[in-house]
Structure 1
Amino acid sequence: MTRRETLISRSIVYAILTAKEDGRPARKPSLLRRALRLFYLYWLSFRLVREDLFKPLRGIWMINEDSYKASFNVRKQIDKKNKGVLIPMGDMGYSGSTFFCTNDGAYLVKSVPRHFEHDFFKNDMLIPYTDHMRVNRSSLLVHITNFLESTHRTIGTLLGLAPSHHIVMENILYGQDQEPQDGPKPKWESWDLKPTSYFFPERDIAGGALASQATKSKLADEFNDKIRLSEAQATEFERQIENDTLLLANCNAVDYSLFLVRISASDAPTIEPEPLIQLEEAGDEPTPSVQPPFTPPNPPSWRTGVVSSDGREIYRASILDFFWAKHTIHAKAMTTLVRGYNLIDDRGPMSITTDSEEYRNRFLDMCKGIVEVQV
C-alpha cells in the first residue's frame, strides 16, 4: 500500500469512527492547523454528510452500529500485511474512482471525484434515495451506508490527488474470500452490466483500434447466459427493477449498471436466516441485532442470495453508479459533442448522453432479457 492510499484510508476510517452525532469531526482544529491544512496532499478531515438520514437507514437494514464500526476499527483488525487500514482495490472504472475494502470484506469505500457527480448525489439524489430505501426493503439499489465529504480544500484535493468525496456501500461479494474448511475454493462470477446497444467510442470508432485493451476492459461486461428463476421470482425481480429505475428516471439519472453475482449453490456461504421484515414496518426503525451485514431476511433477497429455480446456483444483484445526471453541465457538454460527431458518423447516443427514460427502457429490456423462467 502506498503512502497516499494509507493516509486517505486512515482519514476515512477516522471520520467514521470518531464523528459526532451530526457527522462533524470530533475535534475542532487549532488556528495553526487550519492554516497549514491547505498544504496537505493526502490527509483530509471528513464530515459525514446527512448522518441524520444514513444512521436510521442502517437501522432499517438491520446493521448494528457496533458491528458497523468494528468493520472499520483498525485496532480490532490489526494485520501485519495491511496494518488494519482499508484495503486498496485500485481504479475500477472510467470515472477515475478509487476503491477500498474493509478488512472483513463487508463494505466498499468508493471515491466520487468528479464535482458534477457528488454534487448531483448530495443535492438532487440523496433525499429521494433515502426516502425510497426506507419504504422499499427489497430495493436492488446498492445500500449506501455513509457519504463523506472533505471539510476543507487542500492542495491534494485541488490537484485531484486526494478525492474530496467518498461513499461507503455494502459489498455484495461479501463472503467470496472466505476460505472453505475443506474442498476446493468456491468459484464466484460477477458482471457489471449496462445496455451494450449504445455508442461507445472506445469500442465503435475504428473498430476499437484506437483504444488500448486496458481502456476497453473497463467497458460494461456482457452476460452470455441466463439467470434461471421461477415465475414468481422473475415477476418480483422485474417489478423491483421497474420500481427502482422509475426513481432513477425521475431524478434524471443515466448510465447506472446492474452488478450481477453468480455462485454455485454448493459453494455459497452458509448463513443463518433472520426474522422476516414486514413491509408495513417501513415507517419504524427495527432494533438491529449483532449480525454480519449479509445475514439475509427470510425469504432471501437479491443482496444476500436468491436460489435459482433448478437449485444449482445462487444469484446476487445490485444497481450501482447512479451518479450521472442528464441535466448537469458536464452531461450537456458531452451531449453536444456526441451530436456533433453524429453529423459525421451517425452512431446514436452514448449511455451518458441519452434521455433518462430512454436509458431506463433499454436497461429494463436488458434485465428482462437475462432472465429465463423455468416452471
Structure 2
Amino acid sequence: MRSRTRRISMTITHAILDGKDAETSQKKRPACVQLPRSMLKFLSLWHLELMLFRPNDFLALRREVWHITDEAYAQSFQTRNDVSPPEPEEEQRASNLVPMGTLGYSGSTFFKTWDGKFLVKSLDRHFEHQFFMHELLTPYIVHMWENPGSLLVRITDLLCVPYPTLGGLLGLEPTHHVIMEHLLYGIDMDGDTTRYETYDLKPHDYFFPERDLANGKLAPQSVKDRLVDHFPDQIRVSQQATKELVALLDTDTKFLAESNVLDYSLFLVRYARSGESRFDASDPFLSGTSSAARQADFWRTGVVSADGQWAYRAVLLDFFWARHKFRAKAMAGLVSAFNAWAGYGPMTITTEPFEYQRRFMRMIQKLVGENGTEEEYDAGQSADC
C-alpha cells in the first residue's frame, strides 16, 4: 500500500511541475507514432501518466482571480525545507505530498502538499469526473470569474490520464484528480486535531442509508468519525458577516441548482482563537489582493465569532453529482421503489436540484440563527426573482 501511495504521489507531482497539456500532447504526434504508443500505454497497470486538463484556464484563475503567483503554487509541490539529507529528485517529489488516506463515503483518496496549502483529491467514480470535466467545468470557471468571493471550493488544477489504461479500468490507480485549496491551512499543524473542529453539513431531513438503515452500520465507523455531519451550535458572528455568508451561499447554490448539481455540502471549520491560524501577507491566496478582495476571503481565512472566542471558515464541497446522469437516474428509481415499501423519502442524490438548494439554504439560515419558516424563505426567493 505504501508503494502505491508513493507511485500516485510521484505521478501527481510530475504532472503539476512538468505542465503537460492532456488535450494537446496527444495531437502533436503523427498517427503512425501515436497508435503504437497508445497500445503500449493501454497495457500500463501502474505509474499512469497524469497530465493537466485545460491548464491555461486554471492558470488564468490562479493568476487573475485568486492572485496565486506561479512561484508560490509550484513551491507547494516542489520544495520541502525539512528534507535532510537531500534526496534524489524523484524521491523528493514523491515526499512532497502527504497521504491522508480515504475520506468520506465516495472512496476518494487524499493528499495534502507539504506546506498544507493544497489538497489533492482523486475522482474515482467515472460519472463524477466526466460530468465535471465535460459539463460543469466551463460554467464553474465562468462563475468564479464573475463571483471572486464565491465559496465554491477553489479548484486550482485538474489532472487526468488522457488515454485508456488497464490500470485505470481495473481501478488499480486513480486516473483523475483535482487540486484544491485546503481550508485547514494554518491551523492543521503537526497533526494536532484538538486545535479545531470540522463539520461536513447537508440538510438532515433527507434519507441517508448510512445513517437511517441498520443502525448506521452501513458505513465504517472510521469514516463516520472523520466526517461529523451535525453542528451542535450556531455560527455566531456579526450581522454583516452573517449577511455575507448567506448571500454568497445563496448565489453559489443557485448556480449549482441551475447546473443540475446535488449532494454538495458545507465544509465548516471552527477553532478557538487561542489556536489562531498562521495566515500572513505571503500566503498565495492573499498576496497581491486588494482590501475588498481580502474582505471577500474572510470566510476562508477566519471570521471571528461575536464573543471573540471562536473563528470560522467555510466552503462548499463535492459538487460532482449531477441529477441528469444515468447513475443518479438509476439511484432515483431504486430509492423510489424502496420507498414504496419503506417510506423513508428522497435522498440527497435523488431529489430535485432546486428542492435540494431550498433545503440547503434553510439549513444555513438555522446555522446562523435566522430561523425563518419554509414559506418565508420561499417568499424571499420569489421576491428576488
TM-score by length of 2: 0.84
CA-to-aligned-CA distance 1:223-258 (integer Å, 9 cap, x gap): 011111111111111111100000000000000000
Unaligned runs of 5+ in 2: 371-385
CA-to-aligned-CA distance 1:308-327 (integer Å, 9 cap, x gap): 22222111100000000000
Paired residue type of 1:5:
T
- Measured at CA, do residues 204 and 311 of structure 1 come closer, stay the same or move farther in structure 2, by a change above 3 Å? same
Single out whichever of 255-264 and 210-219 deviates more from structure 2: 210-219
Q: Which residue of 1 aligns with 2:73?
A: 68
CA distance in 2, matches of 1:112, 1:314: 31
Q: Which residue of 2 aligns with 1:309?
A: 306
CA distance in 2, matches of 1:15, 1:55: 14
- Note if contact 1:157-1:164 (Cα within 8 Å) is conserved in structure 2: yes
Q: CA deviation at 1:186?
A: 7.1
Paired residue type of 1:293:
F
- Note if contact 1:110-1:168 (Cα within 8 Å) is conserved in structure 2: yes
Q: Figure out how many residues of one structure are paired with residues of the other and give that number.
A: 354
CA distance in 2, matches of 1:22, 1:208: 42
User: Any residues of structure 2 matched to 1:213-292 within 5 Å, and which?
Assistant: 213-214=221-222, 216-217=224-225, 221-272=229-280, 291-292=283-284
- Measured at CA, do residues 215 and 51 of structure 1 come closer, stay the same or move farther in structure 2, by a change above 3 Å? closer
1:52 to 56, 59, 67: 56
Structure having the higher helix fraction is 2
1:293 maps onto 2:323 in alignment: no
Single out whichever of 145-154 and 251-260 deviates more from structure 2: 145-154
CA distance in 1, matches of 2:223, 2:269: 23
1:336 to 326, 333, 336: 333
Paired residue type of 2:164:
R
1:148 maps onto 2:159 in alignment: yes
Unaligned runs of 5+ in 1: 274-289
- Note if contact 1:229-1:372 (Cα within 8 Å) is conserved in structure 2: no
- Measured at CA, do residues 41 and 85 of structure 1 come closer, stay the same or move farther in structure 2, by a change above 3 Å? farther
CA distance in 2, matches of 1:170, 1:210: 30
Q: CA deviation at 1:39?
A: 2.9
CA-to-aligned-CA distance 1:39-59 (integer Å, 9 cap, x gap): 322211122111121111001
2:41 to 28, 37, 47: 37
- Measured at CA, do residues 218 and 70 of structure 1 come closer, stay the same or move farther in structure 2, by a change above 3 Å? closer
1:351 maps onto 2:359 in alignment: no
Q: CA deviation at 1:64?
A: 0.6
Paired residue type of 1:62:
H
TM-score by length of 1: 0.86
Output the aligned Cα RMSD: 2.8
Q: Which residue of 2 aligns with 1:15?
A: 15
After TM superposition, what 4+ stretches of structure 1 lie above 6 angstroms from structure 2?
26-32, 79-82
Paired residue type of 1:51:
P
SS in 2 for 1:357: helix
CA distance in 1, matches of 2:84, 2:350: 45
1:114 maps onto 2:125 in alignment: yes
Paired residue type of 1:233:
A
CA distance in 2, matches of 1:315, 1:335: 35
2:169 to 151, 155, 158: 158
Q: CA deviation at 1:32?
A: 6.8
CA distance in 1, matches of 2:48, 2:38: 11
Q: CA deviation at 1:111?
A: 0.5
- Measured at CA, do residues 319 and 33 of structure 1 come closer, stay the same or move farther in structure 2, by a change above 3 Å? same
CA distance in 2, matches of 1:188, 1:218: 13
- Note if contact 2:236-2:368 (Cα within 8 Å) is conserved in structure 1: yes
- Measured at CA, do residues 177 and 202 of structure 1 come closer, stay the same or move farther in structure 2, by a change above 3 Å? closer
Paired residue type of 1:334:
M
CA-to-aligned-CA distance 1:98-142 (integer Å, 9 cap, x gap): 111111111001011111101111111111111111121111100
Paired residue type of 1:224:
P
CA distance in 2, matches of 1:253, 1:20: 30
SS in 1 for 2:77: coil
